[in-house]
A and B are shown apart, each in its own frame.
Chain A
Amino acid sequence: MISAIFQYEFLQNAFLTGIIIGIVAPLLGVYIVVRRLSLIADALSHVTLAGIAASLLLEKKVLGISGLNPIYMGMAFSVTGSLFIEKLRSVYKHYQELAIPIILSGGTGLSVIFISLADGFNTDLFGYLFGSVSAVSRADLWLILIISIVIIATIIILYKELFLLSFDEEHAKASGIPAKTVHFIFIVMVALVIASSMRIVGILLVSALMTLPVAASMRIAKGFKQTIFFSILFGEISVLGGLFLAYYLDLAPGGTIVIIAVLILIVTILIKKLTTSRPAKVQK
């Protein structure tokens, strides 16, 4: 495999993108999970699908547009969807989770319409749904790299503010943090990471890469920084292990990545159980 990576550009693209995604998806995932927004990733991934379907439709039906990279329109839809979610969350203050099914079904509905308008796609729609090792282009890699650098820098710069906002929103507001602005930046970052991750893990499984490593990490980590560290570690193991197995066993990478993440989660739950049940037995 190592020699294959040096040989084939598409494998280099997939692995490098995977390494990047394995950092940023769980990193933002930590904030999504602790803020109890896990389902937002699902809603946004379906909106991203609508963007991709729209882009593929344009490419097919409108002459003169060829070679349009669907990732751009996917990102545009995802960011727009995130803004709608925020709007809906402020409209339905007491039913904030309502924003998620509205956006999720809206996104799916649009996708289905675009797909039917195009009379189906013979292209790689399947790859977008479940991820693909061969679909990542060099241009995708560069775009994802730049976006990820910006996101990591933003999270480092806003670390204190994001922590306080996640831990105690009311207190963040009371102490004069520009909560709305920070939250806005956060949700746009989530939208961008989802659109970036979909090439590798696929739209239907993006949210798993943002939540499963975090769920595992929270079982064993002490403190917030450790939670971030273990989330990224588990994310990387899942992505690299998943790509490796997918390539050799000819499986869909998205599914393989997610199943590895699930296995890691099960192991951490078992470890936690074993380490905490021992003192209880001593007491008896």
Chain B
Amino acid sequence: MNEKVHPIIDMQDVSYKYEKENVLERINITINEGVFLAIVGPNGSGKSTMLKLILGLLKAQSGKIKLFGKDIHKFKEWQRIGFVSQKANSFNTGFPATVYEVVASGLTKKLGLFKFMNTEDKHKVLDAIDSVGLIQFKNRNIGELSGGQQQRVFIARALVSDPKLLILDEPTVGVDAQHVQSFYDMLEELNKNRGITLLLVTHDIGTISDKVTHVACMNKSLHFHGETAEFERLDKDKMSAFYGHDVHILSHDHDHHHGGVKS
């Protein structure tokens, strides 16, 4: 990993206000190619806002964001960034589309207007479905799958355009507890075998800390960013001041249910 050579995301002094309230305050973070970074923080800490800024869905009032070394205002290669949102939010489970059709829709932007899929594109779609382990379901309607499988379909949709960076916003919300672990195993594999940089917003640091290479903690501003091992040595008292009563989510207690954390 050439850490200094390839920063994929570089944020300098980025602030964002919603109406008069500071949502993000002077964020400075450099995310390098090949990492698997978990961003953790309590509700309202600005995690999702930060993702939206990176995805260009919101514009920062001050500061600079660079993607793949380019200023975000000039950045055009959005197909290099895949995005998987919280499943519950954005789709209608009764939608009459097969897994194949949904994954193929991930090529929409890459193909551009007036273009249709060729044989190579079709292979890519099947490859992406295979890499999330759903090839036997490719002709099923998406509504017939479980929550975890549906979320894998969305990962495949993001993978089909060969992204270098995959951004996931609390992807395990709505996924059965017993499938969460295998879901994270799959992410780890994508990171290790395909070399995809992963950026994951989660409340679930307990389950995922043995998978991610780096952790960032934020609460409006960035409190910590470093390797997972370093994160685990952090003073728990400091963390509790930052997290308030939610400090227990930092523990490795896998069977601990942190109810009340998620809104």
With a cutoff of 8 Å between Cβ atoms, the chain A residues found around residue B89 in the complex are 170
Interface status of B97 (Cβ within 8 A of chain A): yes
With a cutoff of 8 Å between Cβ atoms, the chain B residues found around residue A34 in the complex are 92, 95-96
Interface status of A168 (Cβ within 8 A of chain B): yes
Closest B residue, CB atoms, query A169: B90
With a cutoff of 8 Å between Cβ atoms, the chain A residues found around residue B106 in the complex are 175
Q: A15–B72 Cα gap in the complex (Å)?
A: 56
Please count how many residues in chain A sit with their CB below 8 Å of the partner chain's CB atoms.
Answer: 29
Contact A223–B96 (Cβ < 8 Å): yes
Given A170-B85, A174-B57, A175-B83, A163:B92 Cβ within 8 A: no
Which of A168, A176, A227 has a CB less than 8 Å from the CB of B96? A227
With a cutoff of 8 Å between Cβ atoms, the chain B residues found around residue A161 in the complex are 108, 113
Residue among A163, A218, A221, A223 with max Cβ neighbours from chain B (10 Å): A223
Contact A223–B141 (Cβ < 8 Å): yes
With a cutoff of 8 Å between Cβ atoms, the chain A residues found around residue B97 in the complex are 163, 167, 223-224
* Binding site secondary structure of chain B: mixed
With a cutoff of 8 Å between Cβ atoms, the chain B residues found around residue A233 in the complex are none
Contact B90–A170 (Cβ < 8 Å): yes
Q: A52–B211 Cα gap in the complex (Å)?
A: 65
Residue among B85, B95, B106 with max Cβ neighbours from chain A (10 Å): B95
Q: How many A-B residue pairs have CB under 8 A?
A: 74
Please count how many residues in chain B sit with their CB below 8 Å of the partner chain's CB atoms.
Answer: 29
Q: How far is the CB of B220 from chain A (nearest CB, A)?
A: 23
Interface status of B98 (Cβ within 8 A of chain A): yes
Q: How far is the CB of A224 from chain B (nearest CB, A)?
A: 4
Contact B98–A223 (Cβ < 8 Å): yes
With a cutoff of 8 Å between Cβ atoms, the chain A residues found around residue B83 in the complex are 171, 174-175
Closest B residue, CB atoms, query A224: B97
With a cutoff of 8 Å between Cβ atoms, the chain B residues found around residue A175 in the complex are 78-79, 83, 106, 108-109
Interface status of B101 (Cβ within 8 A of chain A): yes
Interface status of A93 (Cβ within 8 A of chain B): no
Contact B108–A177 (Cβ < 8 Å): yes
With a cutoff of 8 Å between Cβ atoms, the chain A residues found around residue B222 in the complex are none
Closest B residue, CB atoms, query A34: B95
Interface status of B105 (Cβ within 8 A of chain A): yes
Interface status of A222 (Cβ within 8 A of chain B): yes
Q: A158–B83 Cα gap in the complex (Å)?
A: 22
Which of A164, A169, A221 has a CB less than 8 Å from the CB of B105? A164
With a cutoff of 8 Å between Cβ atoms, the chain B residues found around residue A171 in the complex are 83, 85, 90
Closest A residue, CB atoms, query B139: A222
Interface status of B29 (Cβ within 8 A of chain A): no
Interface status of B91 (Cβ within 8 A of chain A): yes
Which of A166, A172, A177, A223 has a CB less than 8 Å from the CB of B139? A223
Closest B residue, CB atoms, query A173: B57
Contact B105–A163 (Cβ < 8 Å): yes
With a cutoff of 8 Å between Cβ atoms, the chain A residues found around residue B134 in the complex are none
Interface status of A63 (Cβ within 8 A of chain B): no
Contact B108–A167 (Cβ < 8 Å): no
Which of A157, A160, A222 has a CB less than 8 Å from the CB of B141? A222
Task: Kindly identify, within residues 41 to 93 of chain B, every residue whose CB is under 8 Å from any CB belonging to chain A.
Answer: 55, 57, 78-79, 83, 85, 89-92
Interface status of B16 (Cβ within 8 A of chain A): no
Interface status of A225 (Cβ within 8 A of chain B): yes
26 A-B Cβ contacts within 8 A? A157-B113, A157-B114, A160-B105, A163-B105, A163-B108, A164-B105, A166-B95, A167-B91, A167-B92, A167-B97, A167-B102, A167-B105, A170-B90, A171-B85, A171-B90, A174-B57, A174-B85, A175-B79, A175-B108, A176-B78, A218-B94, A221-B96, A223-B97, A223-B98, A223-B100, A226-B96
